[in-house]
């Protein structure tokens, strides 16, 4: 059995169904909790359970970020920069600010 606790959220699961039911019964006897069914979304992660494995992605979060910054229509790229760019050291160039803005979650 796997049990994951984050603040006031608990996720648990096992291939042994009776163990899951017993754990849920014990927890409900001690705490007020609701059973949400099969896990599909947790802490910003989308979870898809299939016969050949459990798959996790963040496409919903990525789409929300694209919408937030007005980039829903942008084209996707396989790399973060074009592989056709020739990057050479510019020893005479001017320095750039090292200040970087980060998105605060």
Beta strands in 2-105 (DSSP E): 2-6, 9-13, 41-42, 45-50, 53-57
- Summarised one tens digit per residue, pLDDT across range 2-27 is 898 888 888 898 888 999 999 999 99
Cα angle at 87 between 82 and 90, to 5 degrees?
A: 150
- Summarised one tens digit per residue, pLDDT across range 61-79 is 888 999 999 989 888 888 8
Residue 105: is its pLDDT beyond 70? no
């Amino acid at each position: 059995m796997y049990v994951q606790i984050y603040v006031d959220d608990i996720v648990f699961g096992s291939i042994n169904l009776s163990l899951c039911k017993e754990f849920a019964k014990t927890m409900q006897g001690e705490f007020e909790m609701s059973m949400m069914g099969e896990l599909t979304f947790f802490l910003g992660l989308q979870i898809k359970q299939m016969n050949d494995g459990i798959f996790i992605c963040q496409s919903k979060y990525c789409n929300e970020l694209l919408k937030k910054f007005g980039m829903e229509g942008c084209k996707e790229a396989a790399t973060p920069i074009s592989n056709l760019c020739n990057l050479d050291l510019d020893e005479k160039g001017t320095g750039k600010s090292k200040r970087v803005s980060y998105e605060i979650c």
